[in-house]
């Protein structure tokens, strides 16, 4: 029978560690300084790591020392290695806990660039409702752009001490803030790009962006606010003025196959387009400002939709509101004054709704081309004509159209103009109403006034038709000149047959139907 003592299991004493006796017979309490105790602890800890035993305070302290020793061995045994290990452990613990309140870091004091700050802090989880504020310090000019990809960076908020942040003169030719398949950092300041960089705030490939009110990108080289390829940007009451500094080709706001909400946004002074949606994109631009665009103030193209109710698009270089290639613009309560071309133009199967608008233009107040439609109620135009071409329709209810220049109403190539109520007065052209090539104009209860320079109130030619039902009419010269198989319908208009030239079958005048000449 063996020595009984070697099988005894002594009670563990606080501050000591159990280890084998020097003779190998049984266990005893040893001081931690004893090298054999350290060796035994290594073995015991290895056992604990694979089991379910719960450590007490002494065991935890031993585990910490053992872990540090292992780290020191791995890192080369240097003090620097231990410091690195401790810092990494602390950072990991903080990350696991997450930020529960807003954290502010300063650019460039804490991090030299916005990108550096996001790269360093993006691994840190943030509790719901908390943000990491990237505060651009006073006087600092940004030296680099921001690119975030494949993640959620929406808890980062780019803010500034100064009212406006500048870009450094050496800022590279990159987007100022761009997201690719990402939730982008919020923009909570105004950046003056001064034509540097490329795009301003750019959400690409399914990204989501957020721009705070009174914030944005001023004088962007290309697009100032740009959502592309299924992206979304919220930018109500934002500022994206004087865009397209690099070349006449870009927009203050562009939703390309994407969605942008920019209620009340200001894109005035763009060197090309003001606010635009394209390629089935959608832009909410209600009460927006697109004044002074070098080309078109508000544009919808390629099956896009723009809600521009209450928007202003004044003093534009070409057109105030233009819908093109199946574009749709809702422009009720808008203004389009001072345009050097047209106020409202729909082209190539497009649609514009322009109720209760105020406009004037050098060329046309309303023009629909290529099977397009314009509908306006209670519109007021103080200059510019109404024109429909190529199967298009312009329908005006209770309009006030004055000082139209040449040919106040013109329908050609199978087009149609319908006016109910209101009034139309001419300018310095040769006729008030021009109808050619199987087109039609219908005026019901509309007051028509030709100027002294207009030799006829209306010319109807090439199989076209004119209907004037009711209303009052003034024409210093001939009322209607009907030519080449065209048709005139006059009923309750007060226009006598004697004032209609080129008629055959004048005896039908009493029935309100007058057939034109051969």
pLDDT digits (tens, 9 = 90+) for 359-410: 998 899 999 999 999 999 999 999 889 999 999 999 999 999 998 777 899 9
Phi (first) and psi of residue 70, to 5 degrees: -60, -40
Which residue(s) pair with 344 in the sheet? 321, 366
Is pLDDT at 54 greater than 90 in this prediction? no
Nearest to 25 by CA among 47, 46, 43, 10: 10
CA-to-CA separations, 497 to 110, 316, 445, 450, 501, in angstroms, rounded: 88, 45, 19, 18, 8
| 3-class DSSP state of 174 | coil
Nearest to 235 by CA among 204, 259, 219, 256: 259
Average of per-residue pLDDT across 344-348: 98
pLDDT digits (tens, 9 = 90+) for 87-106: 455 445 445 545 556 899 99
Determine which of 195-199, 268-272, 436-440, 500-504 has the lowest per-residue pLDDT on average. Answer: 500-504
pLDDT bracket for residue 26 (50, 70, 90):
low
Is pLDDT at 302 greater than 60 in this prediction? yes
- Rounded to whole angstroms, how far apart are CA atoms 57 and 63? 10
Report pLDDT for 466.
93
Is pLDDT at 117 greater than 80 in this prediction? yes
Report pLDDT for 104.
96
In percent, how much of the chain has pLDDT > 70?
Answer: 78
pLDDT, averaged across the chain: 86
Is pLDDT at 24 greater than 90 in this prediction? no
- Rounded to whole angstroms, how far apart are CA atoms 343 and 371? 18
Is pLDDT at 84 greater than 90 in this prediction? no
Half-sphere exposure of 100 (CA within 13 A, CB side): 3
Average of per-residue pLDDT across 66-77: 54
pLDDT bracket for residue 505 (50, 70, 90):
very low
- Rounded to whole angstroms, how far apart are CA atoms 242 and 162? 20
- 406 compared with 177, residue with greater pLDDT: 177
Q: Is-contact 218 192, C-beta < 8 A?
A: yes
């Amino acid at each position: 029978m063996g020595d009984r003592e070697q099988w005894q299991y002594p009670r563990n004493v606080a501050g000591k560690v159990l280890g084998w006796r020097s003779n190998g017979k049984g266990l005893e309490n040893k001081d931690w300084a004893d090298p054999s105790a350290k060796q035994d602890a290594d073995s015991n800890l290895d056992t604990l790591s694979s089991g379910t035993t719960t450590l007490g305070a002494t065991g935890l302290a031993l585990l910490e020392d053992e872990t540090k020793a292992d780290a020191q061995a791995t890192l080369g045994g240097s003090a620097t290695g231990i410091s690195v290990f401790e810092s990494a452990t602390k950072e990991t613990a903080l990350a696991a806990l997450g930020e529960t309140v807003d954290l502010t870091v300063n650019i460039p004091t804490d991090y030299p660039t916005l990108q550096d700050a996001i790269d360093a802090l993006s691994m840190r989880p943030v509790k719901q409702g908390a943000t990491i504020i990237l505060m651009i310090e006073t006087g600092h000019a940004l030296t680099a752009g921001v690119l975030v990809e494949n993640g959620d960076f929406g808890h980062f908020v780019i803010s500034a001490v100064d009212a406006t942040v500048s870009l450094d003169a050496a800022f590279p030719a990159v987007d100022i803030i761009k997201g690719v398949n990402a939730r982008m950092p919020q923009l909570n300041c105004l950046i003056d790009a001064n034509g540097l960089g490329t795009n301003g705030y750019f959400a690409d490939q399914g990204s989501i962006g957020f721009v705070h009110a009174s914030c944005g990108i001023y004088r962007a080289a290309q697009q100032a606010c740009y959502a592309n390829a299924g992206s979304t940007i919220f930018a109500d009451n934002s500022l994206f003025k004087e865009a397209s500094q690099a070349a006449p080709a870009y927009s203050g706001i562009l939703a390309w196959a994407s969605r942008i909400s920019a209620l009340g946004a200001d894109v005035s002074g763009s060197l090309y387009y003001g606010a635009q949606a394209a390629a089935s994109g959608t832009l909410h631009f209600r009460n927006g400002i697109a004044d002074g665009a070098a080309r078109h103030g508000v544009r919808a193209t390629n099956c896009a939709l723009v809600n521009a109710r209450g928007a202003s698009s004044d003093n534009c270089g070409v057109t105030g509101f233009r819908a093109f290639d199946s574009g749709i613009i809702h422009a009720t309560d808008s203004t389009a004054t001072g345009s050097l071309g047209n106020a409202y133009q729909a082209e190539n199967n497009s649609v514009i709704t322009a109720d209760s608008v105020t406009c004037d233009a050098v060329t046309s107040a309303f023009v629909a081309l290529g099977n397009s439609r314009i509908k306006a109620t209670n519109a007021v135009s103080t200059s510019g004509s109404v024109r429909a071409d190529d199967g298009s329709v312009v329908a005006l209810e209770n309009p006030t159209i004055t000082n139209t220049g040449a040919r106040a109403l013109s329908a050609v190539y199978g087009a149609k103009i319908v006016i109910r109520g209101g009034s139309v007065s001419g300018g310095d052209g040769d006729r008030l109403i021009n109808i050619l090539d199987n087109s039609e104009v219908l005026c019901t209860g509309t007051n028509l006034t030709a100027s002294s320079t207009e030799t006829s109130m209306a010319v109807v030619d090439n199989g076209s038709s004119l209907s004037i039902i009711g209303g009052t009419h003034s024409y210093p010269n001939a009322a209607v000149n009907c030519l080449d198989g065209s048709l005139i319908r006059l009923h309750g208009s007060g226009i006598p047959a004697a004032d209609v030239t080129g008629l055959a079958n004048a005896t039908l005048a009493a029935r309100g139907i007058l057939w034109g000449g051969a």
